[in-house]
Structure 1
Amino acid sequence: MSTTLFTNARKVDAAGEVDGFWMLVDGDRITATGSTVEAPGRPPVAPPAGDPSGAGGAGRVPDATVDLAGARLTPGLVDLHVHGGGGASYDGDADEIARGLAVHRAHGTTRSLVSLVANPVARLRTSLEAIAELRTRDPLVLGAHLEGPFLSPARKGAHALEHLAEPTAETVHALLDAAPGTVRQVTLAPELPGGLEAVERLVAAGVVVAVGHTEADHDLAVAAFDRGASLVTHAFNAIAGIGHREPGPVVAAVSDDRVTIELILDGVHVHPEVVAMMFASAQGRVALVTDAMAAAGSADGDYLLGELAVTVAGGVATLAGTDTIAGSTLTQDAALRRAMDAARQGSVAAVTALTATPARAIGVDHEIGLLAPGHLADAVAWTDDWHVSRVWAAGRELVDGVAVRS
């Protein structure tokens, strides 16, 4: 495998900011990192240059060097909740999903789940099979997120009522068995018949359960978290807000260090002051997601979300003829900029919410989310105003979201 040395960067990740940062990539993984700039308790370290005694034990000159000329370098962004982009819906076949993924990758999202809206179980099984097939040729896909069908009819949002279902053991197993190992996350309303039992069943199968699209109150949310749920699907949307007498499920999540809280920071779903409050209240546990549908990275117009007609005007997606929000047109780089601007977060906190935190939420933080030895070589270089300049995934540069052939 070839080696690439990245030099002269300003690293920003959950571990902090480091000037003069360099990292050595061997194949798809980071093997060594360091900084040429001295800091308290950290002497400068020169990057490897063929000396067998050098950092990382590099015994040869790297095959390629990328001089970032002082640009910021972050881990690749991670999206736990996204339904499409570039006119492509993730409810389609593997090739259509790949087209949508390329759009988001061009905006810095190197790893993502593929989110599915409520559909008949048979159709969901077909979609899961398509995602499993795609994963055999695209390891950047982390798996599937079933946002439906286990949702409250009263909080269905942009999901077809007729396709909602109760989380019976039979239905849960039918979905998990469609493509074993593909389902990584399930959104579930715990008040549904058998809901708490389903939480335990899914968690036992290695699936991350998110409380969402639910009428659950504070106490029921606490019960779901105690049964193993560890995520909240797009907090404040399709879920009760915070009340002074009934604190609701969001407060239950904030109070529980085991729980990660999704937020959609597009300027529409949640006010940035509320986002700032959540960053302060649940430090290190906010995961920014897009909940993007097919119009992300595309033009205003008419689209489908599952079987539902969606109108996009001014970048805001709503169910046709209503004011019900139907996902977003957000990309993760825009969410990062809003976190630092409108929500007044520092760069480390903002980057963490798009990298290490979502990676930890689904148990892959040992491989992605940091620029550190042993981690997969996913990285994004940024312009001074935090727009994406270059993207690498698993050690390979992406151009327009597609890996460059080496």
Structure 2
Amino acid sequence: MRTVVGRDPKTGEGLSVTYGDRIESVEKIDGEDLPWLSSGLIDLQVNGYGGYDVNGEEASVEAIEAITQKLVQVGVTTWIPTIISASEETISRSLAIVSEAKKSSPIIDHAVPFVHVEGPFISDQDGPRGAHPLEQIRPIDSREVERWMAHGPLGYVTVSPHWENSAEQIHLIRNLGIHVAIGHTHATTEQIQEAATAGASLATHLGNGIFATLPRHPNPIWAQLANDRLDAGFIGDGHHLPPETLTALIRAKGDKSFLVSDSAMLAGTTPGRYKNDIGGDVELFENGRLEQTSSGLLAGSGVNLLNVVRYTLANTPFSLDRVLTMAVSHPARLAQRMGASPRGKIEVGYPADIITLDDKAQVLSVIQAGKTIL
């Protein structure tokens, strides 16, 4: 058995945690001068990282392994591969690769519980479509989702409920055991309400994937904020949402808010101009902004979830405990709802995914499934 010590961000009390693969005991100790102690970060939306992709021809078992290794270095012990709009064949291939990667390694199997497919059933309009390829956008089809399931561990799918028969198709997808998020949408308030009634339970990176200019009201942001059936993800990187907008959105959504990175393949790589399958010609800036060079529109995110945690802590009024709740315990609850094993708590019996942090949320040490990483 090994031991790690730190302060509980909620109470400030010192804790001594004994662990093997799982947490064996948790005891209170003097917490003075100890770092903060938390379960590992849980990112529900990762398209790629560190030069590796889960999409298209770049997807491979080696890519899933590399992303897992790179993300754990920054405290992300659980991550959800996100496959964007593509042909059915391409989506199915990426799902199969994740399935193969999970079988190849117990650590990957633990770190990657399931897959998120973002699209192809999203808005076909410039703006809400984002960097998703127009030629791959199509109406919601529960039969296609069912075919995807034969290839890999699908957890949830992001759709825009503006399509004809959207509510019916969402209901059928939920009957398959797959969760549904609303995102990249120009749907009306009524269509969003109908989608939530049909079983949609999440909002994908709310405040983004939408027209740059909206009516004051009604609009899809208000409709999703006001619907208590929808938990909402937010990209707190300073590029997707200004700090005052991020603050207001989280306050409005309350304890249904969670943080995601929306990391693209180029996140964590050297700043510069690149030719990318997602977004075409893009530029990654020193501050993590990733944009299409032709339009200036964002092409995913150039940051990781630790960057999001640190930015949110530094630029909003929320405490470290609140920020970690949005990056750990809330995503853990959602992941478990979608089929992941329990995680995200410093409690006896939970996996020994543990990080320590300083006052600015810089990671000092990382333990994943009982193995010391950092």
Residue 239 (structure 1) aligns with: 210
Question: Any unmatched runs of 5+ in structure 1?
Answer: 39-67, 400-406
Relative to total residues, which structure has the larger helix share, 1 or 2? 2
* 1:172-183 aligned within 5 A: 172-179=145-152, 182-183=153-154
Other structure's SS at 2:4 match: strand
Q: Does 1:167 align with 2:167?
A: no
Task: Provide the alpha-carbon RMSD of the alignment.
Answer: 2.1
Q: What is the 5 A alignment of 1:19-98? A: 19-25=13-19, 27-37=20-30, 70-91=34-55, 92-98=59-65
Residue identity matched to 2:16: W
2:11 is matched with 17
Residue 37 of structure 1: how far off its partner (Å) = 4.7
Identify the residue that residue 284 of structure 2 maps to in structure 1: 312
Number of the residue aligned with 2:302: 329
Partner of 2:223: 252
Query: How many Å apart are 1:366 and its aligned residue?
Result: 6.9
Partner secondary structure for residue 80 of structure 2: strand
Q: In the aligned structure 2, how far is the partner of 1:363 from the partner of 1:78?
A: 12
The offset of 1:306, in angstroms, is 4.2
Higher Rg of the two aligned structures? 1
Q: How many Å apart are 1:243 and its aligned residue? A: 5.0
8 Å CA contact 2:279, 2:292 repeated in 1: no
Determine whether 1:374 maps to 2:346. no
Per-residue Cα deviation, 1:197-251 (whole angstroms, up to 9, x for no partner)? 22112222222211001111222211111111111111111136875431x3333
**Pair 149,224 (structure 1): closer, same or farther in 2 beyond 3 Å:** same
Match of 1:51 in 2: none
Identity of aligned residues (%): 25
* One-letter amino acid matched to 1:398: I
- Which of 230, 235, 255 is residue 284 of structure 1 equivalent to? 255
8 Å CA contact 1:355–1:369 kept in 2: the answer is yes
Residue-pair matches, total:
360
| CA distance in 1 between partners of 2:245 and 2:306 (Å) | 20
Query: What is the CA-CA distance between 1:381 and the residue it aligns to?
Result: 1.0
Tell me if 1:204 matches 2:175: yes
- Structure 2 CA distance, aligned partners of 1:223 and 1:109? 35
Q: Are residues 306 and 239 of structure 1, via their aligned partners in 2, closer, same or farther at CA, if it must alter by over 3 Å?
A: closer
Q: Which moved more, 1:359-368 or 1:331-340?
A: 359-368
Q: Residue 123 of structure 1 aligns with which residue?
A: 90
Structure 2 gap ranges (5+): none
Q: Which moved more, 1:305-314 or 1:373-382?
A: 305-314
Q: What is residue 62 of structure 1 aligned with on the other side?
A: none
